[in-house]
Structure 1
Amino acid sequence: METTEKFINYVKKMQAYSEAIGLMYWDLRTGAPKKGIEQRSQVIGTLSSEVFGMQTSDELAEMLVELENNLESLDLITKRTVEKMRKEYNMSKKIPADEYRDFVILTSKAESVWEEAKEKSDFSLFFPYLKEIVETTKRFVSFWGVKDNNPYNTLLNEYEPGMTTEILDNVFGELRNKIVPLAKKIAESPNQPKTDFLFKYFPKEKQKQFSLDILKQLGYDFNAGRLDETVHPFATGLNRGDVRITTKYDENDFRTAIFGTIHECGHALYEQNISAELEGLPLSTGTSMGIHESQSLFYENFVGRNEKFWEQNFSTLQAYAPEQFGHVAVMDFLAAINESKSSLIRIEADELTYPLHIMIRYEIEKGLFNGDMQVEELPQIWNDKYEEYLGVRPTNDAEGILQDVHWAGGAFGYFPSYALGFLYASQLKSAMLIDLPHFDDLCANGNLEPIKDWLTEKVHRHGSMKKPLEILQDATGEGLNATYLVEYLEEKYGRIYQLV
């Protein structure tokens, strides 16, 4: 068997292990019995160790060297796979195998402890786990090497290749300077939407049925996925034929489920529409967390909050909740779901203030890994920053420091991807309008297939074959540009609140 074939079979075996691990994580997050969590965490740790061993083996190293010596003879997919595996090998080889296994077990347990701590609104339960996760991650950064004299850059680069605190400080600073005064104008505007009808009892089962209707319209393939309930919504791509999404239902605020489901659908459509040529390879996934978030936020905001989209779907919503929405005009509904006001919960934030939630997490993570903050200080720091940035202060840990699951999984450096995703999505939407100037008409007619096809052609099908900024450049003709998001927010909220 020649080296190329042997290499492809090797990485496909690694992906098979990873798929099994992914399924176990999905089960942990969607209702696995509590008494089985300890053993399940051990099993995940054991299988992850097997993958880690393959990822750092001498056998893989020898294949990589041989293939790298003959790159010109390889097809593009194999070449990109070699490049990706080399990067992962170099990173993983620096981590002692026993420390990696212990970390996987730690984070598997930590997610369940976080869930309990959030339910009880008690940071002290989660604190020892978070402290150990942070300390271990700092040790891993020391193994990997500090990037550009900034430990946090090393973590950023894992989720968004090429991203640095210098870039983010500039982009976030520009956004903040536009968002804060706009939010102030909105708060002072006399044209505030009526929203009381949003917060009425809407049975979970009815919400689920409406969510399923919307998912079908968006193009989610139920022969390649399913919808389940969880504490913190997520999407997981086990393979391109099995991409699962989850949501959370609040019977007194239907927006949590509906917009959360649309958001996760955006992630899923990305994974479901990756080219079949990449099946079973490490390239069969999103190219970065920022590009992934661009897809979820594109659907949540540019489709799911689109005026024409709701002109098409509002009558269906009324049919599911006639007492709640039967006497509400569609324009009043649109103003209500696009209301902008400061809030405590990131996943429930409006489009305008959402980036501020991300900036708070970014600054905390940067402080943690650059030595300016300690884990025990986080609840206080979190609350202070919310008061400073958004003018609201959490009254308990559940609505404050414990609201996100990411840190329980050791996902430091991930949060900035959400804001980058919004920036990318705005830029993609602007480029899409050149090819699909009738975008609003498509939403009005419930014909979203051309939108999905455009995104599949420009983004989805490439998987990890292209780097994030390469995707952006090829799709839009330019690099990252915050102007599109700023203009979108100013136009939209200026219109809703009738700002001069």
Structure 2
Amino acid sequence: MNEPINKSMSQSFAKLEEQLEKAMAVQTAMILFEWDNETLAPREAAERTARVIGSLSGQYLDIITGETVKKLLKQCRKEEELLTQTQRAVVREVEEELEKLQGIPADEYRKFAELTARATGIWADARKKKRFDLFAPVLKEIVDYQKRFASYRAKKGQKLYDVMLNNYEKDFGMKELDEFFAVVKAGVVPLLKESAKRSETIDDSFLTGPYTEEQQERAARFLAEYVGFDFGRGVMAVSAHPFTTSPQS
């Protein structure tokens, strides 16, 4: 259903949109560098790419946590009756992003972005060599950063894992998920035990049997075309792990 046009549009929201356009442009640049880093960029470019991504992440943080955005959010709340339902949702999402980021020191945020950019190449090398000990120190550093960032947001008595869960499962904590998985477990475990008793075997060799990079790429392209992916608007490339991404909007 279309929302009614508000002839008295909030000027504060219009100004907020201008700030969000700047943030979107920076995020889009980051996404393109990250995509390139995961796919086509030569490994020797990794260090330079990491620094660029770090710099862009710092610019994004400056916009979202800057005084201009904070003031505009407060003003939008005062002018809430002038906002459409969608605009109110935008204000709410930006407020949540601000809450998530405002306690993080800018230098730490930039260094974390650089670290995760470098981690891509380190992980790909470790995976190729089957030397996961090469990636372990980087993984530990990433986890330490995430725990530290969560600690900046945690309320008194709140567990850090609950803070981090909210990034991906909004309004869910360990308590709610434990209850959910208890129900799943009650249904799935008996089913697995029953299946284990059966003597039938299933030929699953197609899951493991050697496929060249070219064969995998052809299969992926076929599936993309089958579901209607428009290669005039998007592109596919080889990466260590499959992923999809798109510019911010």
TM-score (norm 2): 0.87
Shift of 1:149: 2.8
2:4 corresponds to: none
1:118 corresponds to: 127
1:75 corresponds to: 84
1:333 corresponds to: none
Cα distance in 2 for residues equivalent to 1:93 and 1:143 = 9
Pair 99,182 (structure 1): closer, same or farther in 2 beyond 3 Å: same
Residue in structure 2 matching 1:12, options 14, 18, 21 = 21
Aligned residues, how many? Answer: 240
Cα distance in 1 for residues equivalent to 2:29 and 2:159 = 35
Shift of 1:204: 4.7
Shift of 1:147: 7.7
Cα distance in 2 for residues equivalent to 1:66 and 1:2 = 9
Cα distance in 1 for residues equivalent to 2:114 and 2:172 = 29
Pair 85,147 (structure 1): closer, same or farther in 2 beyond 3 Å: farther
1:45 corresponds to: 54
Residue segments in structure 1 that go unaligned for 5+ positions in a row? 240-279, 281-500
Residue in structure 1 matching 2:189, options 180, 192, 204 = 180
Structure 1 counterpart of 2:178, which letter? D
RMSD: 2.3
Pair 192,235 (structure 1): closer, same or farther in 2 beyond 3 Å: same
Residue in structure 2 matching 1:3, options 12, 17, 21 = 12
Shift of 1:217: 2.7
Contact 2:65 2:102 survives alignment (8 Å):
yes
Residue segments in structure 2 that go unaligned for 5+ positions in a row? 1-9
1:156 corresponds to: 165
Matched residue SS, 2:245? strand
1:144 corresponds to: 153
Between 202-211 and 119-128, report the one with greater CA deviation: 202-211
Higher relative contact order (CA 8 A, sep 6+): 2
1:397 corresponds to: none
Cα distance in 1 for residues equivalent to 2:130 and 2:211 = 26
Shift of 1:140: 1.2
TM-score (norm 1): 0.45
Matched residue SS, 2:237? strand
Contact 2:40 2:237 survives alignment (8 Å):
no
Pair 149,203 (structure 1): closer, same or farther in 2 beyond 3 Å: closer
Structure 2 counterpart of 1:47, which letter? L
1:129 corresponds to: 138
2:200 corresponds to: 191
The Cα offsets for residues 388-418 of structure 1, whole Å up to 9 and x where unpaired, read as: xxxxxxxxxxxxxxxxxxxxxxxxxxxxxxx
Pair 98,201 (structure 1): closer, same or farther in 2 beyond 3 Å: closer
2:231 maps to 1:214? no
Shift of 1:35: 0.9
2:106 corresponds to: 97
Contact 1:156 1:164 survives alignment (8 Å):
yes
Cα distance in 1 for residues equivalent to 2:56 and 2:212 = 40
1:59 corresponds to: 68
The Cα offsets for residues 210-250 of structure 1, whole Å up to 9 and x where unpaired, read as: 443332332323333222211111111225xxxxxxxxxxx
Pair 212,123 (structure 1): closer, same or farther in 2 beyond 3 Å: closer
Pair 182,94 (structure 1): closer, same or farther in 2 beyond 3 Å: same
The Cα offsets for residues 309-350 of structure 1, whole Å up to 9 and x where unpaired, read as: xxxxxxxxxxxxxxxxxxxxxxxxxxxxxxxxxxxxxxxxxx
